[in-house]
Amino acid sequence: MRVATGGPGKAAEFWARRGTIVLGGLTVASLAVLVVLGLFVSDPDYQQGDAVRLMYLHVPAAWIAYLAYGVTSLASALYLWKRTRSPAWDTLAGASAEIGVLFTGLTLVLGSLWGRPVWNVWWAWDARVVSTAVLFFLYLGYLALRRVPADPAVRARRSAIAALAAFVDVPVVHFSVEWWRTLHQKGSVFNRELNPTIQGNLAWALLSGVFAFTCLYLYLLERRYQLAVMEEAIEERALEAAIAERRAEADVPPVRVPS
């Protein structure tokens, strides 16, 4: 076992590294538990049959999309606030949004695959479905905006504003089933009015899905953030090299042409 040496910075680095390894292991284990519970242990629903097994992926994917955009918005707000402004918040916002887009895409596709056997349609012009698709394209646009070449501070500022503007759609997605008449069901697990009862092994499969996807999100976020830090360092080095090259060119004395 390696021992942390070299002061608090090194110790923090050591424990952060350990934390990443533990989180990676927990993610793999919890995903394995989800596969076993979701595909083999949980019973078919009395109305939906086996199609209910898509819920164990669709609902956690939607939860991760909310969480990822929440983190993006919080990091963007912290970037915009002068007292907490740091490029690290911008990097975190971008990393989280990318994962959010992945999980929003999965939510839409899984919802479509679930809708076909249950609603008998692949797609419905339903408030929940449409507002989720809008959310997907809003954050896809946010990621595109981040790739537009600009001064890093300018890019970070405009990206932060765009992230906060896009987040307005998150409550619209969430409350769409309350505000409009929709084909999509209302929230049921925590809905007191419905007083829902969800059978034990179905509930455990759903909870394990939420837990596994949360671990996966945290692990991916850490990995994506570290990658962004490295890519920013490479960009900086390339820029410094280009500047040094230009300076060297300027220092070369002009060639005298013999008359």
Partner 1 sequence: MTDAGYVIGGWTLTGVAIAGYVGRLWARSRRARRFLPPDEQGRSEWM
Site residues for partner 1 per CB under 8 A: 13, 16-17, 20-21, 24, 35, 38-39, 48-51, 53-54, 57-58, 61, 102, 105-106, 109-110, 113-114, 116-117, 216, 220, 222-224, 226-227, 229-231, 233-234, 237
Q: At its nearest, how many Å lie between partner 1 and the CB of residue 38?
A: 8
Q: At its nearest, how many Å lie between partner 1 and the CB of residue 34?
A: 10
Query: Closer CB to partner 1, residue 61 or residue 163?
Result: 61
Alpha-carbon gap, residue 220 to 214, rounded angstroms: 10
Q: At its nearest, how many Å lie between partner 1 and the CB of residue 159?
A: 20
Query: Closer CB to partner 1, residue 229 or residue 242?
Result: 229
Q: Tell me the two tokens of residue 31.
A: 């995903």
Query: Closer CB to partner 1, residue 157 or residue 223?
Result: 223
Query: Closer CB to partner 1, residue 63 or residue 175?
Result: 63
Radius of gyration from C-alpha coordinates of the chain? 24
Q: At its nearest, how many Å lie between partner 1 and the CB of residue 62?
A: 13
Q: At its nearest, how many Å lie between partner 1 and the CB of residue 133?
A: 17
Query: Closer CB to partner 1, residue 111 or residue 163?
Result: 111
Alpha-carbon gap, residue 109 to 83, rounded angstroms: 41
